[in-house]
Structure 1
């Protein structure tokens, strides 16, 4: 039942992390109120029927699950099925292709045919075995208080720590792989959601790479049956079942920290709600404005991705002749060679949209057709999700609509270049006869979800551990969710271990509260 007494915890924002925190705390007997400005819960994880008159529930913003810990799923009793994809990735290029998955021998043959080097496959498996050594050490710590960097370093081979944590990831890629395509396929995991080069001295690309490959110790990206909307639905159910009061259409206009800890939250209708604990599920830049702290332009995050959602009557044929059911089953890499990714970064940094846009595509419905209505399934319809990189928000500020169209065309050109037939011939249409294509730019994400700059991680990712010499003084600091105000904690992607669809920000915040914050 919803809470009726004064809350113990107020959570600002109703995204997946906020729902995780609400469920944990309500299960522990806390009176929890969640305040979400939008009319639906789940944030970037929510599903939607995007195309009028079309029975397809698409994961509009996010699309795969890797970082959500099995422990969180079990603790909250979430009824989720996450399926493995038959193929990891397929990369068509003019002089060959690279197929990863569909059996070890097929993958080995593909590496040898592409590179001409019989040892290329061993270099690939050896590299990811080294990554797995780091993932196996880091993953179990994500649902515990932050470990110390020195403790983790002592448990990982020195060369692995150096190559993945201390030096730009581009160095180890160039040393390990000689083929441009192979280097690029590996590098993409360091770029999704960030705007950087392989050799960026800030190592933001290394942190992104770690988060993409550490989930549950394997780094496998799995398909949620029912789409990402199923993840949101289950979190809403778990939080409500535990007794959390989830309020939508509730806009927070100010957060005023209280001298004794906690804060008073002011709503758009003028009402106020105070609690000894206030959790911030919103982005840090949004929280700073609500707290009256403000931000300077240099502190504002900037997203750098384009998402295109498509519904097709059937999958298109490829120039390579590979079965579309194989090519689209995993991640289809488009224009993501190592040199091209660097070139595209330089173009975007200079204010020019890369065209064709380096992108990757995946088909949810080959693994899970349940997001389609019965008639669409019977008719052979399929969804495609295209995710373009190096499309920073700055490119869309002056002309959002015009640049959205240009970005759509640049992304679809990258796809069309590998197809043996016009993509238009395969597109489904909605009830009004329009092609089923939706484009989401960083500025669209900013407007729809209140994510500053459209940054999907709410800002640059942090290393998921304590820096050497750091000594936490409170449970909030020990869990990586502290702010400058006692009783006001981060619980979203702005937490130290926030970012991606993980629930870690919410779980970490809940554990800090239960430990005394």
Structure 2
């Protein structure tokens, strides 16, 4: 399929969710827009698939929850998307000598949460510390969230809105210091720390503060940080975005592998290939939904292995005939309804980091599990009521582990299963559904798979390390692109993906902010 024209106001490279957000906003504003997507479908990492032959379950293959997408953005684009809240925020099985149980955090927190902390720690102090810390984090989220769809604020302006202690804890010092200072229990410390490590390979004491930035992004969405389940799977979100873009007049061309972007005095030329022949199109502005590392290659700068991002995650999708029982005796519908933490005591997480940094697959393997079908049975098709999905997300599994040892993927999957079996009253294998060929319904993805499938360099789900969602105090904010955090070295080429300053996760912010910069310029 070719583009309908030779030139457009805006050419969008990539068809992920951010690219579709940009296209929808810009087409609604009356600009001519074309989206060029390498694959034969849009959605990027936010897609739903039926990975198991003969089973109707549609799983969110890569991205799996929505926390950062502003409700205002969804309203602006009239998105027909529903997001379900989870009644359980998290459940963390624990064992202390002869005692065992589970730390339950409800949403909203109630008496069961307080009693759960008391059962684990034997006193009221830890839950009081939890309430105080997350109360302060909530104030930080309330200050930052409204700025995400506005031009970048300066750091000092955000800092003036929040308490000095939480600013120091989250923004200035390695997060591990605040966690170990504020909390005494190893399990509680670990539950707090995990939000800093989703797709991020770092010690909690890393002086780069990459873990702090990851933590902030996971807790500021809409001022609450709530992670919600998209009804119909992640594909429902990107399908709605694609409809919004097309209904507004944008063109979407799939099977269009972009090979080069050449800036000129009045815009840029984009050359792409459809598998049979080469095409070119020009745009007054080109928006890049691909990772900045890939964009540099498209601009002719060549590959730089030293700056290539490296992801750190193990994603495993399961289909079960039934939910397994847990050793703690908790109702599986409660434990699996939110985030089920596995081997995520603070000390275990740090030991896992040290092992992975030393070239070994962690044992035990820290990770967390989600059961989306408890919140959204519709993804099971005619198996609703007789099956469940599970999603496992493993921490401290950097791409380098799998580059060094091709057998490391199998080892990592087995250790993930072992971490899950350690808290179950029955082996997960006894609950697994089988596909049409009699094979267990398990699909595992490491960073190398993500890179191969989606062309994300290094399989890094954020396109690279996250930035603070504000501008340093001495920033040059002279152009709209700079003001919105989407600039590149070429005035006619802007970032619209996860590599934009406020990109990362399923938020649409990179797309929204690039669109606003274009509208201010054209």
Query: Which residue does the alignment assign to 2:113?
Result: 107
**Is the 8 Å Cα contact of residues 3 and 31 (structure 1) preserved in structure 2?**
no
Identify the residue that residue 326 of structure 2 maps to in structure 1.
Answer: 318
Secondary structure at 1:414 match in 2? helix
Relative to 1, partners in 2 of residues 1:292 and 1:431: Cα closer, same or farther, differing over 3 Å? same
Pairwise CA distance, 1:209: 0.4
**TM-score (normalised: structure 2):** 0.96
Matched, 1:36 2:42: no
Instruction: Output aligned runs, 1:180-259, within 5 Å.
Output: 180-258=186-264
1:377 counterpart = 2:413: no
Q: Does 1:292 align with 2:297?
A: no
- Give the match for residue 454 of structure 1: 459
Q: CA deviation at 1:471?
A: 2.8
CA shift, 1:4, in A, is: 4.2
Question: What is the deviation of 1:336?
Answer: 0.5
Q: TM-score with structure 1 length normalisation?
A: 0.97
2:138 to 113, 132, 139: 132
d(CA) in 2 for partners of 1:471, 1:156: 24
Q: 1:416-427, aligned counterparts within 5 Å?
A: 416-427=421-432
Are 1:304 and 2:312 an aligned pair?
Answer: yes
Contact 2:48 2:59 in 1 (8 A): yes
1:165 to 171, 174, 190: 171
Measure the CA separation in 1 of the matches of 2:412 and 2:266.
47
Q: Summarize deviations over 1:128-168 as a string: whole Å, max 9, x none.
A: 00001111010000000000111111111111111110111
1:264 and 2:265 correspond: no
- What is the alpha-carbon distance in structure 1 between the residues aligned to residue 80 and residue 278 of structure 2? 38
More displaced 10-residue stretch of structure 1: 442-451 or 5-14:
5-14
Aligned match of 2:477: 472
Whether 2:415 is the aligned partner of 1:407: answer: no
CA distance in 2, matches of 1:48, 1:399: 29
User: Would you say the 8 A contact 1:457–1:493 is kept in 2?
Assistant: yes
Task: Give, in whole Å, the separation in 2 of the partners of 1:130 and 1:261.
Answer: 48
Is 2:284 the counterpart of 1:283?
A: no
**Cα drift, residue 491 of structure 1:** 0.2
For residue 397 of structure 1, give the secondary structure of its aligned residue in structure 2.
helix
The number of residue pairs the alignment matches comes to 512
Q: Report how far residue 261 of structure 1 moved.
A: 4.0
Partner SS for 2:397: coil
Query: Given the superposition, is the C-alpha separation of residues 393 and 261 from structure 1 closer, same or farther in structure 2, using an over 3 Å criterion?
Result: farther
Partner of 1:274: 282
1:93 positional shift: 1.6
Per the TM alignment, residue 460 of structure 1 is displaced from its structure 2 partner at its CA by 0.2
2:493 is the counterpart of 1:485: no
The one-character-per-residue Cα deviations of 1:439-497 (angstroms, maximum 9, x if unpaired) are: 00000000000001100000000001110111311000000000000110000001000
Q: Which of these residues, 364, 374, 398, is aligned with residue 392 of structure 1?
A: 398
**Once structures 1 and 2 are overlaid, which stretch shifts more, 234-243 or 5-14?**
5-14
- Measure, in 2, the Cα distance between the counterparts of 1:399 and 1:228: 32
Q: Which runs of 5+ in 2 are unaligned?
A: none
CA shift for structure 1 position 5: 6.4
Q: Does 1:119 align with 2:125?
A: yes
Give, in whole Å, the separation in 1 of the partners of 2:506 and 2:245.
17
User: 1:299 Cα deviation (Å)?
Assistant: 1.1
Evaluate the alpha carbon distance shift between residue 3 and residue 28 of structure 1 in structure 2; reply closer, same or farther with a 3 A threshold.
Answer: farther
**Which position in structure 1 is the counterpart of 2:11?**
10
**How big is the shift at 1:295?**
4.3
- Paired position in structure 2 for 1:358: 366
509, 514, 520: which one aligns with 1:509: 514
Could you tell me whether the CA contact under 8 Å between 2:6 and 2:280 is conserved in 1? no
| Distance in 2 between residues matched to 1:86 and 1:378, nearest whole Å | 19
Give the secondary structure class of the aligned counterpart of 2:411.
helix
Cα offsets for 1:162-215 (capped at 9, x unmatched): 111011111111111000000000000001011111111000001000000000
Contact 1:112–1:118 (CA<8 Å) still a contact in 2?
Answer: yes
**C-alpha deviation, 1:503, in angstroms:** 0.3
Whole-angstrom CA distance in 2 between matches of 1:144 and 1:212? 19
| Contact preservation (8 Å) 1:313, 1:426 | yes
Runs of 4+ with >2 A deviation: 2-6, 294-298
Deviation at 1:296, TM superposition (A): 2.8
Residue 406 of structure 1, CA deviation: 1.6
1:272 Cα deviation after fit = 1.2
Following superposition, the deviation at residue 118 of structure 1 comes to: 1.4
- What do you get for the CA RMSD once the two structures are aligned? 1.2
